[in-house]
Amino acid sequence: MKRIWLVAIGVVLLMAVVFLAGCGSQSSGSSSAVSQQGIWVSGTGKVYAVPDIAELTLGVEAQAVSVAEAQTKATEAMNDVIKALKDSGVAEKDIQTQYFSINEVTKWDANKNESIVTAYRATNTVVVKVREVKKAGAIIDAVVVAGGDYTRINGINFTVEDPNIYYAQAREKAITYVKAKAEQMAALTNVKLGKVTYISENSYMPSGNYYNGRLEAAAPAMDTTPVSVGQLEITTTVQIAYAISE
């Protein structure tokens, strides 16, 4: 008799645990459903802008048997490069040092089973903001002439001075699209749109890279280095939630 009662108690406890677990999961699901009520719509607006600024990453690199000699060569070459930049109309405020280093140049000695220092390399890199993008090619040529074989041209990036104007245009397009999409969804499902309960935005403007890598500068050709400005695609994605009215 005692054994039968124990089995009965065990069944009752198991049913109670299952009931509580079910209540807990139902409550969680109900909370999630409430937070996602309404019509959620997302859309992207795009506009195109012609870049009005070119950012050049360039500098010099010199190698010598001593640190002092490598630094002297790099300093003299960099002074010539900066002078060429200023002579080309680049303001001093638009020239910013990005990187400077002096490193050992080594080679492996198999006989000694160790690395041996053979020279020292000094590198000085700046980022230059060119506000007249049409002059970017001519400025590159001037830098190559000034820095000679020490010149390194690492990349060029295009951007706009004030992207907020374009973000506003893209945002307007995105919201107009989202609103029309929500109204269509409401009409197709026989419901009415209520007030807006949620808005989020994510904007993006990719950089326009003409070249991004390491380029050993050579003597400039007779013609100016060609630089194509192209266009930048500026996008804004918005997500809006509308309540469903009675």
3-class SS of residue 125: strand
The strands making up 192-204's β-sheet, listed across from edge to edge, are 39-49, 232-245, 192-204
Give the pLDDT mean for 173-200.
95
What is the rounded CA–CA span in Å between residue 217 and residue 118?
24
Residue 36: per-residue pLDDT: 65
The confidence score (pLDDT) of residue 209 equals: 54
Which residue ranges make up each domain of the chain? 51-161+211-230
Higher pLDDT, 61 or 209: 61
Which range among 5-9, 65-69, 158-162 shows the weakest confidence by mean pLDDT? 5-9
Give per-residue pLDDT as tens, 95-136.
Answer: 999 999 999 999 998 888 889 999 999 999 999 999 999 999
**Per DSSP, which regions of 160-207 are E strands?**
192-204
Question: Which pLDDT band, with edges at 50, 70 and 90, does 78 fall under?
Answer: very high
pLDDT of residue 219: 44
Q: Which long-range contacts (CB under 8 A, 24 or more apart) does 70-74 make?
A: 70/102, 70/119, 70/120, 70/121, 70/122, 71/102, 71/122, 73/122, 73/150, 74/122, 74/123, 74/124, 74/150
pLDDT value of position 8: 38
- The pLDDT tens digits for 11-58 are 333 333 333 334 333 333 333 333 468 999 999 999 999 999 999 999
Report the alpha-carbon distance of residue 28 to residue 32 in Å, rounded: 6
Q: Look at residue 202 and tell me whether its pLDDT is greater than 50.
A: yes
**Separation of alpha carbons 130 and 132, rounded Å:** 6
| Residue range 230-236: mean pLDDT, rounded | 94
pLDDT, averaged across the chain: 83
Looking at the structure, give the CATH architecture of the domain made up of residues 51-161+211-230. 2-Layer Sandwich (3.30)
What pLDDT, on the 0 to 100 scale, is given for residue 3? Answer: 44
125-162: per-residue pLDDT in tens? 999 999 999 999 999 999 999 999 999 999 999 999 99
pLDDT, position 214: 38
Confidence of residue 222 (pLDDT cuts 50, 70, 90): low
